[in-house]
Chain A
């Protein structure tokens, strides 16, 4: 139960951290579900995302594309299946189990990488990280209307020409 409490908390509390609110609002507007992740779990999530997509020197990193906010938006989105919410949370639990001595986000970059490699060595760990990477790519290359890819930073990095017209905020997924 303690571990579950580590993971599941209040979105309001989570948003009190440094996560850009816009990423979440893009998905759900003002009305977000009450129970999502604790601030601690959000920091773990953020650390994992930074491990998956580190910043400079090569292109934008998870922080640059609001990846954590984007994934919180996925968790809060009314159309996200409960099974997916559960899966995303469970992965954070599994990861936490691999770091008994300390919390993941307090480790050095090298230590985090070792944990991620250990995690990916299991079938379930690799599948969870692969699923999370799908959201990272959405935050990296999706339309900025969804709260990721601010200013098209991901598109510029790969010299990608987006198509027109871009979606308007009132006609993104969930509002069409």
Chain B
């Protein structure tokens, strides 16, 4: 008899739904998480822990990546992240990076599932249609909204996604007065501002507390449990079932293949560095895109000499980040009335506004009808240390003394600071991929991931298109010093792809159910499956697809166990 029915590697948005669903269905689940186990009692609004030190992520001297970026001369330069400081870890703890997300939960749209057939090929990009359609994922978006808890308000919109439920199960979180200003500004420009759906409970529900509106959300762990992390929303309930076991500080070294090429066991290092072994009927990998590809690549064996599911060299290819850009603008208090300034200084509620008017762009300047993206409007993160650290640079170099203090005082007390983030497709290319570094090893002696992070020039055109129009919104609102930044640098917190799903084993790693081609008892349930990424943040889609995968695994194992059916029917 196997130790467990299902072994899930990784406890974030990809692993949580699988653990929850399988435990609810009556199966014995083990979750292996490489990081520690924090709970609400460990989360504080502490900028030093959140954003100045490696607490939720490993020290780069112990665990690094090697990043390859274009050197400008047609070649690539490689540098360990321990030297550059460019961190590709995103929350290595129970619940993963979903603990620290902002929780912008926008759905993909039907055309995102058929990008190639809708918009055609783009030279130099490996754009393909998904093997499933929006209709197959929609029920799972709906499930996430209800089970994880998504707050929002469905409004009619030129690019509104089809919904099986007419509205969100939870009303929008409290909104900042500036949301009304922004709405008026957008409507003046014939745009359609949308309340941003958030994976945040506005009030107690689902056995969790509601949002405390402390003003610190993205990058911070949630002290109330209102944020729909995989830990708070799913794993805590899976554990309560008594059928799910979670082992933190468990770094999986490799998946071990048997003589038939199926997975026979998992080897992992425990907290004390001792190698352990465990087996299960089905194995699910959900380590986030870079680390999932790395684990499959290093799990070599006689039947898998190039790594698991890598017979055709597809593992690690077509890695995705999120393209787009960002921008900012200031609202100086001396430009507004006292009443308006009072509104601007409100602290705590969310701005929560999205524009999707440019989700499809039909403009000759971009060559006709092309896929566009989404724009989020938000306040600058409140973190005063990091903001001051950026302000220390003046036009002529470093500032200190009274000039620095005057600049700090004026910045923090003289204006409100807005920003926008544009999300558009990061086109899959041969120049964005994961491999194993031939030399650099982590603290367990395992080869680290080498990330080649090339981008397609088309991404910048779309990003600049969105940024230009978003700047106009801020200017119409009354912002000054409006600026934007678009580049091909990969946002390391928005990872997907690398194990794309598809019907052809020669061009994909996973089948349409996200089972590895040729390995019946191996699934991947994080964002690695995505052949194209769409133009919204990934977490909502990762959650939804992981629930879809989980249902398939339940079916593989024989369906919901009779005892659980009895429980459910009373």
- A interface residues with partner B (beta carbon < 8 Å): 51-54, 58-59, 79, 81, 113, 116, 120, 126, 129-130, 133-134, 137-138, 140-143, 145-146, 154-155, 157-168, 171-173, 176
Contacts and interface: CB of A to CB of B under 8 A. Distances in A.
Given A137-B385, A142-B48, A167-B44, A52 B401 contact: yes
Interface of B: 38, 42, 44-49, 52-53, 55, 61, 212, 214-216, 220, 223, 347, 382, 384-385, 388-389, 392-393, 397-398, 400-402, 404-406, 408-409, 412-413
Contacts of B61: 81
A159 B333 CA distance: 14
Contacts of B42: 171, 176
B400 A53 contact: yes
Given A154-B384, A163-B382, 12 more contacts: A51-B400, A51-B401, A52-B400, A53-B405, A58-B409, A133-B398, A137-B392, A141-B384, A163-B216, A164-B214, A167-B46, A173-B49
A59 B384 CA distance: 15
Closest 8 CB pairs of A and B: A163-B45, A158-B412, A163-B216, A141-B384, A167-B44, A163-B214, A167-B46, A137-B388
B212 A164 contact: yes
A143 B47 contact: yes
Contacts of A167: 44-46, 49
Contacts of A157: 409
Contacts, number: 116
Contacts of A154: 384
A59 B388 CA distance: 14
B57 to A, nearest CB: 13
Contact of A165 (B53, B223, B406, B413): B223
B405 A59 contact: yes
Contacts of B406: 58
Contacts of B388: 137, 140-141
B47 A141 contact: yes
Contacts of A138: 48, 52, 385
Contacts of A164: 45, 212, 214, 223
A141 B44 contact: no
A58 B405 contact: yes
A67 to B, nearest CB: 12
A137 B393 CA distance: 13
B389 A134 contact: yes
Nearest to A49: B400
B405 A130 contact: no
A58 B44 CA distance: 30
Contact of A158 (B215, B220, B393, B408): B408
A133 B389 contact: yes
A85 B400 CA distance: 22
30 contacts: A51-B401, A52-B400, A52-B404, A53-B401, A53-B405, A58-B405, A59-B405, A79-B53, A113-B401, A120-B397, A129-B398, A133-B389, A138-B52, A158-B408, A159-B413, A160-B384, A163-B215, A163-B382, A164-B45, A164-B214, A164-B223, A165-B45, A166-B46, A167-B44, A167-B45, A167-B46, A171-B44, A172-B48, A173-B48, A176-B49
Could you say which of B42, B61, B408 has the most chain A C-beta atoms within 10 Å of its C-beta?
B408
B46 A143 contact: yes
